[in-house]
Structure 1
Amino acid sequence: MSALPKIAIIGAGPSGLTLANILQRHQIPFTVYESDASPHARNQGGSLDLHPDGGQLAIREAGLWAAFTAHARPESDVLKVVKNDGEVLWDGNGPDARAVPEAERFAHRPEIDRQALMQLLLEPLAPAAVRWGRKLQEVVPAAGGTYELHFVGGVVETGFELVVGADGAWSRVRQLLTDVKPYYSGISIVELWALNADEKNPWLSQYVGKGSCFSFGEGRTIQAQRVGDGSIRTYACLRKPESFLKDCGIDWTKPETARKEYVERYFDDCGEDLKRMILESEDELIPRTLYMLPVGFRWESRPGVTLLGDAAHLMTPFAGVGVNAAMTDSLDLGRSIVGYTETPHEKSLVDVVKDYDLRLFPHGERFAQKTMNSMNKHFSATGSEELVRRLRAAHGK
C-alpha cells in the first residue's frame, strides 16, 4: 500500500460526506472541514431524487444502502403536471398512476430529504472526522507540494497533500484553480413552505399529491414538492434580471402581503389552484437568485487540489441532476484514491488528480448541458406539454 496522503475535504454536503464514507470504508484517513457550526445550524432544504446510476451507486459504494432504503421515499417518485391556466395534463397520483412491483421500488428515482441524507452520511463517520465551525478563508501552497488551510478566526491547518473542494457555489478552493465565478442564471425564485400540510391544509396536500407538482410556462414556473416531514415546499419562479428581487418593490420581510403582491403582479392569470398553492404556503418565505457556472467549465489541473459537486459544476435545479452529478464525482474520486493507495508505484497522486479532472470535465458538462436545456424548456410557453410528451413516451402512452 502506498503511503497514505493527508487529505482535507472542504464542505460537509452530500459530495464531501459521500467521499468521506468511501475513504473511511477503505481505512483511508481524512478530515472534513465545514463552516456550519453543527449539522443542525441551518435548514438543509427539501427533497432529492437519487438515480440508480448516480447517487444510488455512490451510496452503495459507501456501504450505506440499507440506511438509504430506510430513509428514502420511493412512493414520492410521482409527478403531476399542470398548465399555467390550471389544466391538469398528467397526474401520477390518479389516472396516470402506474403500479410498481415491490422488487422495483428503488429501481427508479426515490426521494430522500436533504436532512435525512446528511444524517445517514454523517452517522458512520468518526466524530473527530468532521470539524464544524471551520470557515475556510484561503488555501495556501506550502513547502514540499503541500497546502495550508487558513480559516476565519486565525486557525491554520498544515501539511495536506490533497485538498478536495466540496464547498459549494462560492468555493474558496476553486479560487486556487481558476478566476471563473458563478454568474446569474436569469432565474429568481420565491420558496414557500406549508408545514404539516396533511393536517393543516388537506386540500393542498391532496392537490400536490404524493410527490411533485410542476407547472411550466413562458418565463415562469410553479413547482411544489412533498417533503418527508409532512411539509410541502412551493417554488414560484420567474425569468427576471438579477436585481429583480431587490428592485421589484415587494417587501419580502412581510410574507403575508408579499405573497399576495407576488401572485397579483406575476401569476394573476394562472389557474386558481396554482395561485392557491402559493397563497396557502404560509409558514416560510425565502427569496432566492439562482447562479450557475458556465456549461463546459474546466480548469488547468493542479497537483493536490480538485473539486466536487457545485464547486466544480454549479447548475440550477431544473433537471434534478445536481446531487447525482455531485455524488458521482465523489464515487469517481473515491475509487481513484482507493486505487492509488492499494496499487503502489502504478500512479502518483498527481496523476490520480489529473486523471480524475479529465473524467470530471465531460461528465460535468453533460449534466450542466442537460440542466440548461431543461431550464429553457421549463420556462417556455409549451413547457408543461413538452414534459408530458416525454412522460407519455416513457410510459408507452
Structure 2
Amino acid sequence: MTIAIVGAGLGGLALARVLHVHGIEAVVYEREPSRDARGQGGMLDIHSGQRALREAGLIEQFHTIARPEGQDMRLLEPDGTLLLQEDTPDDAPSLRPEVDRADLRALLLDSLPEGTVRWGQAFASAGDGWVHFSDGGRAPYDLLVGADGAQSRVRALLTDARPAHIGQNVVELGIPDIDRTHPDLAAMVGRGNYWVFGDGLSLAAQRNGDGRVRIGVNFYNTGEDWFDGSGIPFDDPAAARARLIDLLDGWDARFHALIAACDDTVEPRSITTLPLGLTWPSTPGVTLVGDAAHLMPPVGEGANMALLDGALLALALAAHPDDLPAAVEEYESEMFERAGAAARMSAEMQELLMSPDAGRRLLAFFQPS
C-alpha cells in the first residue's frame, strides 16, 4: 500500500507510527515548513488516547512527559467563592494526566523514521491516485488520509459538511514563567486547571509544563461576528487586556489581576464544530481522522479521538493488507460509533458550560449527590 497522510497533527502522526510498528511505511505531508513553524497550543487531558500510545509502543515515554498533577482543579464563582478544589495525590494513578501538546507531538515525530514527514507540502487536490500540492508537485497514493484538522481540504472528497459556529468566542492570553514573575498568581491558579464561571462568560486558566499559564476568556451565546463589535483592539495588546477587564466588570480583583499580568499574546478564537453524527459512504481510497472527521467542542475529547483514529486505522490496515476497502470500512464503522458518542457527550458538556448557572451545574457534575 502507498499511504499518503495529509497533516502532521496527532492523528496523522499516530497513524504513521502504528503503521511503522506493523512494518507498513507511510508518508506524512505537512504544509508547515518545519516542525517548529508555530506553537502547538496548551495542555491536553489524555485518557482514552493512552490506548493509541500503547499500540504505538510509546506509553512509557508518554508517562515521562505527562503531568499527573495537571489533573488538579479549582472551580470558582465571579465573586471569588471557591466551589471546588481537587488536588491530585502524588501516588494517584495517571488516568487522565495532562501533557503539553508540543511535547506529545514531538514524541510522535521523533518515533518516526527520518523523512516520513515531508514539510512544506500544502495539499491542493487529489484524484486518480495522485495527490497534488500547491507548489505543483504530486505524489501517488493507494490510500489518502485527511488528518488536516478543522479546516480540512481532504474532507471535501467525502462530504459537503463544513464546521459551523456554536455560539462561543474565546480570547486567548498567557502569563509566561508565572512562578518567577507572579508567584502570588501561580499559587492561586495551582498546578492544573482553574475555572471561573459567570453568566454568559467564563475564565479558564491552565498551567503548562513550560511554566506558562494559558488563559481563555470565553464569551457564550455570541455570534460568529461578535469580535467585530466587542471593542477588543487585538492590534493593541495592552488596550485589549484593559477591555477584557472591563468586560469582567464586577468580578473579583484577583481575576482582573490575572488578565493584567498577561503578556502581549492576545488572540481571538471562534469555536466551530462539525454536525453531530456525521458519516459518509465508505470510499476505499480516502478517509479522515481527527478533527477532519469529527470536529467537536473543546472539552477534552478531540485529541483522544484523533490519537485513537490514527491507531485504529493503522490496525485495520495491518489486519487487511490485501483488502484496502475492507480496512477502511472496518475503521470507519468503528470510528463513526466511537467518535459519535464522544461528540454527543461533548455537546452535552458544551451546553452545560453555556448555561447561566454553569458553575453550580459543574459542581454537581463533579460531586454528584
TM-score range, shorter chain: over 0.9
Residue in structure 2 matched with residue 87 of structure 1 by the alignment: 81
Retained in 2: the 8 A contact 1:340–1:352?
yes
| Corresponding position: 1:113 with 2:100 | yes
Aligned equivalents of 2:343 and 2:253: distance in 1? 34
Contact preservation (8 Å) 1:216, 1:380: no
**Would you say the 8 A contact 1:260–1:279 is kept in 2?**
yes
Q: Deviations over 1:154-175 (max 9, x none)?
A: 11112x1111111001111101
2:311 is aligned to 331
C-alpha RMSD of the superposition: 1.4
What residue number does 2:179 align with? 198
Residue in 2 aligned with 1:253?
235
Give the secondary-structure state (helix, strand or coil) at the position aligned to 2:258: helix
Q: Does residue 55 in structure 1 map to residue 37 in structure 2?
A: no
Could you say which residue in structure 2 is the equivalent of 1:131?
A: 118
User: Which secondary structure does the structure 2 equivalent of 1:388 belong to?
Assistant: helix
How much has 1:100 moved relative to structure 2? Answer: 4.9
Q: In structure 2, what is the Cα distance between the partners aligned to 1:153 and 1:58?
A: 33
Match 1:9 to one of 5, 29, 39: 5
Change (3 A) 1:268 1:173: same
Q: Contact between 1:166 and 1:310, CA under 8 Å: does it hold in 2?
A: yes
Residue 246 (structure 1) shift: 2.3
Q: 1:98 deviation in Å?
A: 5.1
Kept after mapping to 2: 8 A contact 1:321/1:371: yes
C-alpha deviation, 1:84, in angstroms: 2.3
- Structural mapping, 1:31-110, within 5 Å: 31-51=27-47, 54-92=48-86, 97=87, 99-101=89-91, 104-106=92-94, 108-110=95-97
> Residue 342 of structure 2 corresponds to which residue in structure 1?
367
Residue 331 (structure 1) shift? 2.1
Identical pairs, percent: 37
Q: Amino acid of the residue matched to residue 371 of structure 1?
A: S
Distance 2:270 2:224 in 1: 7
Instruction: Note if 1:298 corresponds to 2:292.
Output: no
The answer as to whether partners of 2:319 and 2:327 remain within 8 angstroms in 1 is no
Equivalent position of 2:253 in the other structure: 272
Distance apart, 1:220 and its partner CA = 1.1
Q: Which residue of structure 2 lines up, in the alignment, with residue 122 of structure 1?
A: 109
Matching residue within 352, 365, 368 for 1:390: 365
What does residue 157 of structure 1 align with?
A: 139
Distance 2:112 2:80 in 1: 47
TM-score with structure 2 length normalisation?
Answer: 0.96
d(CA) in 1 for partners of 2:330, 2:106: 31
5 Å-filtered alignment, 1:146-225, equals: 147-158=129-140, 160-225=141-206
Distance 2:131 2:366 in 1: 48
Note the residue ranges of structure 1 that are not aligned, 5 or more in a row: none
Contact (CA 8 Å) 1:10, 1:32: kept in 2 or not? yes
Q: Over residues 15-46 of structure 1, what are the superposed CA-to-partner deviations in whole Å (9 max), with x where a residue is unaligned?
A: 11011110011110110001111110000000
CA contact (8 A) 2:75 2:84 kept: yes
Deviates more, 1:247-256 or 1:117-126: 247-256
Distance 1:270 1:295 in 2: 35
Using the TM superposition, give the Cα deviation of residue 366 of structure 1 relative to its aligned residue in structure 2, in angstroms: 1.1
Maintained 8 Å contact 1:190/1:236: yes
Offset at 1:194? 0.4
* Paired AA for residue 258 in structure 2: M
> Partner letter of residue 35 of structure 1?
R
1:106-160 deviation line (CA, Å, top 9, x unaligned): 2x211110110011001111111110010101122x1xxxx211111111112x1
User: Does the 8 A contact of 2:68 with 2:88 survive in 1?
Assistant: no
- The 3-state SS of whatever aligns with 2:136 is coil
Using the size of structure 1 for normalisation, the TM-score is 0.90
SS for the counterpart of 2:126 is strand
Q: Tell me the amino acid that sits aligned with residue 22 of structure 1.
A: V
Residue-by-residue CA offset, 1:274-316 (whole Å, 9 max, x unaligned): 2222222224111111111011111121111100010000112
Structure 1 counterpart of 2:7, one-letter code: G
Q: Output the CA distance in 1 between the equivalents of 2:6 and 2:14.
A: 12
Tell me the alpha carbon deviations over residues 218-255 of structure 1, each in whole angstroms, 9 at most, x when there is no partner. 32111010000000000001021111112323211101
> 1:262 deviation in Å?
2.2
Look up the equivalent residue of 1:167 and give its one-letter code: D
Q: Deviations over 1:178-210 (max 9, x none)?
A: 111111121110000100000001122111100
1:29 counterpart (25, 29, 40) = 25
Cα pair 1:217 1:379 within 8 Å, conserved = no
8 Å CA contact retained: 1:216, 1:379: no
Gap regions ≥5 residues in structure 2: none
Residue correspondences, number: 368
1:379/1:216 CA distance change after superposition, 3 Å: farther
The reply on whether 1:322 has 2:302 as its aligned counterpart is yes
